[in-house]
Chains A and B, each alone.
Chain A
Amino acid sequence: MRYGMAVDTLKCVGCSDCVVACQTENDVPIGYCRDWIVEKTFGSYPELQLEIRSERCNHCANAPCVRTCPTEASHYGPGGVVLVEENECIGCKACITSCPYDARFVHPEGYVDKCTFCIHRVEKGQNPACVSVCPTHAMIFGDMDDPNSELSKAMATRKWKALIPEAGTDPKVFYLL
């Protein structure tokens, strides 16, 4: 089982609901966020294109943060989800500097925090909070190993990209184009 996520850039309106839902679901402190929205505009007026992406930890299969963690606090959880065990984290921040996506931060309590793909929900059979609230149904969460999952189907039929694949991290969040 390999959990992954696809964000449909054609449907995403960048409303940031995913960001607030994550914040309330996971008690992310005010002033911090585990996911965010990027808007990229190409071209010159009036020939323009806009790409909107809801971004978060890519739960890389070859995660530099797991590699550089001196204590195994950063580890691969169920389905390859990259997690931080807060009571093993010493706060050295090597994982933060090693993440090309800037997806991690130091929680005010000292340990390093990040997106968990809402594994506590996923293990109960629910979608991650961000996916579950998205008003435009722009996000798909699922098992990449299951060819019948909505995620696998979308990736088989749509054009997609991942962020900085050339960094060699093997990211598992995809952007449908």
Chain B
Amino acid sequence: MSHTMNRREFIKIAGVGASSLAFATPLFDFSKGEVLAPDTHPGMYSKRTPTYCEICFWKCAGWVHTNEAGNIWKITGHEDDPHSNGRLCPRGTGGVGMYNDEDRLKTPLIRTGKRGSQTFREASWDEAFEYIADGLKKIAEEHGPECVALFTHGSGGTYFGDMLKAYGSNNIAAPSYAQCRGPREVGFISTYGEGVQSPERVDIRDTRCLVLIGSHFGENMHNGPVQEISQATGKGASIITVDPRFSTVASKSKFWLPIKPATDLALLLAWMHVIIYEGLYDKEYVEKYTYGFEDLKAHVAGMTPEWAYGITTIKPEQIRATAREMANASPRVIIHPGRHVTWYGDDTQRLRAVAILNAILGSWGRRGGYYYPEKVSFKSYPHPPFPKPKRTWKDAYPGQYKLAGLALASGICDATVPTTERDCSFKGWIVNGTNLIHTLPNQENTLKAIDALDLMVVIDTMPMEITGYADVILPECTYLERYDSIRVSPHREPTIALRMPAAEPKYNTKPAWWMAKGIAEKLGLGHYLPWKNIEEKLDWELKQVGTSLQEMKRIGVKKFEREYDDLYPMEDLADFEFNTNTGKIELYSTAMEDEGYDPLPKYTHHEEPPYGYYRLNYGRAPMHTFSRTANNPNLTDLMDENSVWVNPKVAKGWDLKNDQYVWLENQDGVITKTPIKVRVTERIRFDSVFVVHGFGHTNRHLSRANGRGASDADLITRVHTDPVMGGTGMRGNFVTFRFEAGEEVSS
């Protein structure tokens, strides 16, 4: 019987979804636990406006509730949004803290002292724009506009991106690529011809077995997967977690494999060995869709569980048991690709192994595996074609990172440090909502690059380490006070979501679109951003897809029907042409081979911590999104400093006690700027320590974050760059404990 839904059935289901739009019905059903009544508070009249969250990249849609006085009261999830299903995570719920934070950037600032000396004067918007435009014109004349780059992490990036393209550069980099998910996309594209995308196209809801390799959902509160894991386990799905740390999700797992760090690829290969040589793979699927199975089979022939045991410390019987667990669930099994995967420098190959394992278990394009998302084809407001830049960042790296699909933030940073090898280094940076000092590895290098700039503009809502180095700081209003582009996301059903202001911007802050337009006008490039204001632009765009700004203001999220009925195209082994050289799922990657990389993933041994040192693993806490929330009053209330997780055996050796403050020193003698609390816990291996990323801020304008906890970014001085796509492997740093501060570094 066909599992693929036909068009008519689909419409019926879509109709059910639409009826829940009638959110105002005062109805409550304890048996479902659903709230359908209007939200009120005693003595408070509540009005709600739609938004989507800006605190992490998941961008959940929600409602901002304001009280009678027009003050923002609370934020709740949007019932029709597939990202949030009506429930935000703690950061989304705590988004009000971003708006209320009294440490926010309040007015444009222009640097008066030495770069990095944190001496600024207040300026008018006009003055600030003038300054930026002058700087940009000068760089264009002296070096060409291609020498300006935009680093962005956040919604406003679109507008600065358009401004930059109008100016003549398309060097637009998001650290979320080379410092985060890039290897995953490249690994999957070279296998399936398409990437995992965001939100990840994993069908956790209906899976029977979920394998997580270093992913710590529950601590990583990406809303969709966390909700779906709970749903799936409720229906009996099993989880296999591979992590040197007993993470939250490890505690919910049927199998926890406390692997020796940096050996995951050996485990993946051993799993393939068991699945292939025990004949557990999906034979029909492999036969029909894949290319290079025999090569793969030969490749993993010697990679037995016994071989992997010596490398990973995972017992052979556990490797076999978990491989069988996956095979039993096949094809409803997901070996999750993770998100932050820039670990050891061979990350694209590791993610290739993940992709291959999914393929031989037949989970790609199948229910409970990987689905085919769809998004609304959305037209942008028309503008004249942008000028074509003469050079791009890639020109700085001839013959390198050939499979990098997006600009590398770290690559641009490196290409800013002047050398004799390049004829033109970057001269101007526009940094939007990303604290590069903590985001990019190797701080010393980043500071060197910044030092060489002619112009650095930082747009942010909060003072950060990076704002201290800016020539001009533009204070952006928070997402609760502004319009942004429509969120058009790929999902099981295509949806769009609106963000609109719930309150007037506080202080002298402005939205990104207004700033980008203002700067473009000062550059005489206003005609590239031809709309009068954002409402006009959004309304035009929304009307192209059959709705309007007015309707979206009322409903917030709009679901569309899929154009193609292909959520699970491989469910019934239907014919399918993949976007690869062979038109098949390439277990053996011809694209990699063509570019001179290993066509099948090979295990390479990575350096291990020297005696007395421990591998530095870092990750998330559920209530924070790194620097972005570090000073948020509601969220610092939950966690205001990080701690270093230490195994009791290690603690005994060093005579460390709970809550004692220590400094961490890495293999290169770099010491954390601030001390960090010790947490002695059985939940971590004895060869590594764990630190939550995003703490240890040193900007004194952050009254709650300054000096609290320590920054792992201080310690990531050694980077293993992925030769395939330039990802910066950051998990190859080792730390030891120090009981006194390092020497004061003068900046």
Tell me, yes or no, whether A binds B.
yes
Q: Which residues on the A side are within 8 Å of B227 (C-beta)? A: 135-137
Judge whether A173 is part of the interface by a CB distance below 8 angstroms: no
Contact of A45 among B30, B622, B647 (CB under 8 A): B647
Contact assessment for A14 and B218 in the assembled complex, using a CB-CB cutoff below 8 Å: yes
Judge whether A156 is part of the interface by a CB distance below 8 angstroms: no
Q: How far is A52 from B248 in the complex, measured between Cα atoms in Å?
A: 9
Contact assessment for B96 and A24 in the assembled complex, using a CB-CB cutoff below 8 Å: yes
B101 CB to nearest A CB, Å? 11
With contacts A11-B234, A126-B39 taken as known, whether A46 is within 8 angstroms of B90 at the C-beta atoms is: no
Judge whether A87 is part of the interface by a CB distance below 8 angstroms: no
B656 CB to nearest A CB, Å? 16
Q: How far is A143 from B226 in the complex, measured between Cα atoms in Å?
A: 28
Contact of A13 among B88, B249, B647 (CB under 8 A): B249
Contact assessment for B89 and A50 in the assembled complex, using a CB-CB cutoff below 8 Å: no
Pairs A–B under 8 Å by Cβ, sample size 29: A11-B230, A13-B230, A13-B622, A15-B90, A15-B622, A16-B623, A16-B638, A17-B88, A17-B90, A20-B635, A23-B94, A23-B634, A23-B637, A24-B93, A24-B94, A25-B74, A45-B686, A46-B256, A48-B256, A50-B248, A120-B40, A124-B40, A125-B37, A126-B28, A127-B33, A132-B87, A135-B87, A135-B221, A135-B223
Contact assessment for B246 and A127 in the assembled complex, using a CB-CB cutoff below 8 Å: no
B502 CB to nearest A CB, Å? 13
For residue A14, which residue of chain B has the nearest CB?
B248
Q: How many residues from A make CB contacts under 8 Å with B?
A: 47
Judge whether A134 is part of the interface by a CB distance below 8 angstroms: yes
Chain A 42-64, CB-CB to B under 8 Å as 1, else 0, gives 01111011101000000000000
Interface size class of B (residues with CB under 8 A): 35 or more
Q: How far is A150 from B231 in the complex, measured between Cα atoms in Å?
A: 16
Q: Which residues on the A side are within 8 Å of B219 (C-beta)? A: 13
With contacts A127-B33, A134-B87 taken as known, whether A24 is within 8 angstroms of B27 at the C-beta atoms is: no
With contacts A14-B248, A20-B634, A24-B93 taken as known, whether A136 is within 8 angstroms of B35 at the C-beta atoms is: no
Q: How far is A146 from B31 in the complex, measured between Cα atoms in Å?
A: 11
Contact assessment for A135 and B89 in the assembled complex, using a CB-CB cutoff below 8 Å: yes
Judge whether B279 is part of the interface by a CB distance below 8 angstroms: no
Q: Which residues on the A side are within 8 Å of B89 (C-beta)? A: 15, 17, 135
In the A-B complex, the 4 residue pairs with the smallest Cβ-Cβ separation, listed nearest first, are A13-B218, A125-B28, A50-B251, A136-B230
Contact of B685 among A45, A52, A124, A151 (CB under 8 A): A45
Q: Which residues on the B side are within 8 Å of A11 (C-beta)? A: 230, 233-234
With contacts A21-B93, A52-B248 taken as known, whether A133 is within 8 angstroms of B87 at the C-beta atoms is: yes
B residues 220-237 touching A (CB-CB < 8 Å):
221, 223, 226-227, 229-231, 233-234
Judge whether B252 is part of the interface by a CB distance below 8 angstroms: yes
Contact assessment for A125 and B26 in the assembled complex, using a CB-CB cutoff below 8 Å: yes
B residues 534-550 touching A (CB-CB < 8 Å):
none
With contacts A46-B256, A48-B251, A135-B221 taken as known, whether A120 is within 8 angstroms of B42 at the C-beta atoms is: yes
Contact assessment for B33 and A150 in the assembled complex, using a CB-CB cutoff below 8 Å: yes
Judge whether A157 is part of the interface by a CB distance below 8 angstroms: no
Judge whether B633 is part of the interface by a CB distance below 8 angstroms: yes
